[in-house]
C-alpha cells in the first residue's frame, strides 16, 4: 500500500457550482484510497502586491501553509479567453513569494483543464504548465487532461454521469498517484 498523501486542490473558478469544482470532486472520488484531497480556497486572496509582504494578509498565510503542508498539487481550471483565470494566476503569485520561499517548489503537480467547447481548455492547460515549469513543479505529462463539453458531463446534483469520462479520470488519477510516489519515494 502506498503512503498516505495529501493533495492540495486548487480550483481556478470561484463559482460555487463551477464545473471545475465538480470535476475536481469527480477526480477525488475515483482516486486511489491513499490520496486525501484538501480543497484550498483562493477566493479570499488579496491581489498580489509585494508591499503587503511586510505584514502578509492572513488569507495569504493560511493559503501558503496549506499548500506547503501538502505532498502534491492538483490544479483544475476552466479556460478564460484562451488562458487561465486571473484568480488562479494571483494564487500562483501569492504562493511563489516571498522570493526564495515558494510553496510550490518541488511539489509534484497535475493540471486538468475544462471548457464547454470541444477544445477542453487547451490554452489554459498549457499556460498553466508554463508557470509550473518555472516554479519547479514536476507535472504529469501524459495523459494531457483537457475535458471538453464539460457542461454535459454532470447531473443536477453535480455527479459525473459520463462513464467514459469517469474511466478516463480514474486512469488519470492513478497516473498522478504513481507520479507522486516516483517523485517522493
pLDDT reading at 1 higher than 60 = no
Residue 119: CB atoms within 10 Å:
14
pLDDT reading at 2 higher than 90 = no
pLDDT at 119: 79
Residue 9: CB atoms within 10 Å:
21
**Per residue in 45-56, is it b (16+ CB within 10 Å) or e — as a string?**
beebeeeeeeeb
pLDDT at 42: 98
By CB atoms closer than 10 A (0-12, 13-18, 19+), residue 138 is: middle
The mean pLDDT value of the chain amounts to 94
Interval 44-76: pLDDT, tens: 999 999 999 999 999 999 999 999 999 999 999
Dist. CA 13–CA 42, nearest whole Å: 9
Q: What are phi and psi of 183, to 5 degrees?
A: -75, -45
For residues 171-185, average pLDDT = 93
Q: What are phi and psi of 143, to 5 degrees?
A: -80, 145
Lowest mean pLDDT among 89-93, 159-163, 181-185: 181-185
Sequence ranges of the domains in the chain: 5-184
| 132 contact partners, CB below 8 Å, separation of at least 6 | 75, 104, 109, 111, 139
pLDDT at 46: 96
8 has which bridge partners? Answer: 38, 73
For residues 66-95, average pLDDT = 96
Interval 111-168: pLDDT, tens: 999 998 887 788 899 999 999 999 999 999 888 899 989 999 999 999 999 999 999 9
- The CATH T-level fold of domain 5-184 is Rossmann fold (3.40.50)
Dist. CA 156–CA 171, nearest whole Å: 25
pLDDT at 118: 81
In this structure, the strands spanning 72-78 and 109-114 are: parallel
Nearest Cα neighbor of 42 from 105, 110, 88 is: 88
Q: What is the pTM of this model?
A: 0.95
Amino acid at each position: 500500500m502506498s503512503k498516505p498523501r495529501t493533495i492540495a486542490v486548487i480550483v481556478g473558478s470561484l463559482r460555487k457550482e463551477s464545473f471545475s469544482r465538480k470535476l475536481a470532486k469527480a477526480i477525488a472520488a475515483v482516486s486511489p484510497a491513499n490520496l486525501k484531497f484538501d480543497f484550498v480556497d483562493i477566493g479570499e486572496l488579496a491581489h498580489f502586491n509585494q508591499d503587503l509582504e511586510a505584514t502578509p494578509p492572513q488569507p495569504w498565510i493560511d493559503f501558503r501553509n496549506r499548500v506547503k503542508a501538502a505532498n502534491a498539487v492538483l490544479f483544475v481550471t476552466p479556460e478564460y479567453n484562451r488562458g487561465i483565470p486571473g484568480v488562479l494566476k494571483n494564487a500562483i503569485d501569492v504562493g511563489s513569494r516571498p522570493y526564495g520561499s515558494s510553496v510550490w517548489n518541488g511539489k509534484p503537480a497535475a493540471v486538468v483543464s475544462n471548457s464547454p467547447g470541444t477544445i477542453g481548455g487547451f490554452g489554459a492547460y498549457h499556460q498553466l504548465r508554463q508557470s509550473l515549469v518555472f516554479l519547479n513543479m514536476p507535472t504529469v505529462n501524459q495523459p494531457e487532461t483537457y475535458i471538453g463539453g464539460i457542461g454535459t458531463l454532470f447531473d443536477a446534483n453535480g455527479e459525473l454521469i459520463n462513464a467514459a469520462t469517469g474511466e478516463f479520470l480514474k486512469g488519470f488519477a492513478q497516473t498522478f498517484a504513481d507520479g507522486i510516489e516516483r517523485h517522493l519515494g
